[in-house]
Structure 1
Amino acid sequence: MDADAWNARYATRDFVWSVEPNVFVERHCRELEPGDAIDLAAGECRNAVWLAGRGWRVTAVDFSSVALDKGRRLAEQAGVEVTTVEADVRTWEPDGAVDLVVVAYLQLPTTERLAVLGRLPGWLRPGGTLVLVAHDRTNIEHGWGGPPDPDVCYELDETVAALTGLDVQVAEVAERSVATPDGERIALDTLVVAHRPT
């Protein structure tokens, strides 16, 4: 979907997603020493706001102006500061290297996505961390929710292969519990946590 389609989706209700951070982002970032962070394809900035609350200096990047407006409101309610940048992640570059890059549910066709992922190692300072979580392709048949288009879903091996130069600590198809009106469901996510060598 393009920016207009995402703007329309984000305009339909107060918050499309939870205002709480993604469970994997929280799990793999809570012990990190705060520094400079990028939340790429930040959406409504739930992860960015959580990180800012833990002392991170966060830049949240998304091409949906509506989502970023919500993110600024969420940051204000939380009493934290998040820098928002309306930009296309396919071409955007940071001003300098950072200590943490979070990518949560970036949906792009495979070729475009792998090109973006290939740039991420260069955004990290030595010792910096990448936390990536996304809808896994196996989720379409075996999980709950997420997009039905396999081209915007992730495959673990090709994702890891795109992150040249990083030391990968976690690479798995992870189960994520989702509360629904019909009870708990399980979604299957690609999860990668990696560090740039010092």
Structure 2
Amino acid sequence: MSHEEAWDSRYAESQQIWSGNPNVALVSEISDLSPGRALDLGCGEGADAVWLARQGWQVTAVDVSGVALARARQHAADAGVTIDFQRHDLQESFPAGSFDLVSAQFLHFWEEFDREKILRRAADAVAPGGTLIIEGHMDHGPFGHGDIHFPSPDEVIASLKLDDGWTVLTSTTHPREQQDQDGNTITRVDATVKLRRSSP
């Protein structure tokens, strides 16, 4: 089964997988930035992309799942915003161009997946003076699959293999409340990394 088929199957399990709200860390970390060009990697059903567009960002949003992208396009239409949605298996292809903000929110997969390669390409896509934000889980929570390694913020930064032209703005873990499959509120731990690329 391809990555696209796996994610299409996951999204087909119900009419809506995610909450429809933007990720809390994204909102907190980039609300003070002046809008420009934004790239949302693994956009899912489009909540982050729609929120960014509402803040004035020119958004390109990417996912491997056609099912997710159809929902994201509908979400954007309902919100009255314009977003460039693209389907990519990010291990094979990547959106063209450079961006003032590149966001990778919970870019995980329960099968073999070269996340580090994708995140290095994400860093390459950040324009001078731009920002890269990476949000990841630190535990399986109630939806665990397999033996995924969830890297610490320091491990994420090291894996990017960045040159000296970057500044680490945020490198932390934090608790976050989430609903499990039965509607119970649980607390899990996430990791936030935010970096800025130097201007020339």
Alignment TM-score > 0.5, same fold? yes
Q: Tell me, yes or no, if structure 1 residue 172 matches structure 2 residue 175.
A: no
How far off is 1:184 after superposition? Answer: 2.9
Residue range with higher mean Cα deviation, 46-55 or 86-95: 86-95
How far 1:110 moved relative to its partner?
Answer: 7.5
* Ranges in structure 2 where 5+ consecutive residues have no aligned partner: none
Counterpart of 2:134 (choices 132, 135, 144) is 132
Of 148-157 and 4-13, the range deviating more from structure 2: 148-157
User: Structure 1 regions of 5+ residues with no counterpart?
Assistant: none
1:4 aligns with 2:5: yes
Cα distance between partner residues in 2 of 1:101 and 1:67: 19
User: Which residue of 1 is the match for residue 115 of structure 2?
Assistant: 113
SS in structure 2 of the partner of residue 96 of structure 1: coil
How far apart in 2 are the matches of 1:182 and 1:120?
Answer: 34
Question: 1:107–1:152: 8 Å Cα contact kept in structure 2?
Answer: no
- Counterpart for residue 156 of structure 2: 159
Aligned length: 193
**Which stretch shows the higher mean deviation, 123-132 or 144-153?**
144-153
Residue in structure 1 matched with residue 73 of structure 2 by the alignment: 72
Moved more, 27-36 or 113-122: 113-122
Is the 8 Å Cα contact of residues 147 and 153 (structure 1) preserved in structure 2? no
| Contact persistence 2:3–2:89 (CA under 8 A) | no
Q: Which deviates more from structure 2 when the two are superposed, residues 162-171 or residues 45-54? A: 162-171
SS at match of 1:145: helix
Alignment of 1:1-198 (within 5 A): 2-108=3-109, 112-136=114-138, 139-140=139-140, 144-151=141-148, 153-163=150-160, 164-165=162-163, 166-180=166-180, 183-198=184-199
Change (3 A) 1:186 1:195: same
When the two chains are superposed, the root-mean-square deviation of aligned CA atoms in Å is 1.9
Name the % identity: 33
User: TM-score by structure 2 length?
Assistant: 0.88
The Cα shift of 1:90 comes to 1.2
Q: Distance in 2 between matches of 1:45 and 1:111?
A: 22
Taking structure 1 as the reference length, what is the TM-score of the superposition? 0.89
AA aligned to 2:124 is G
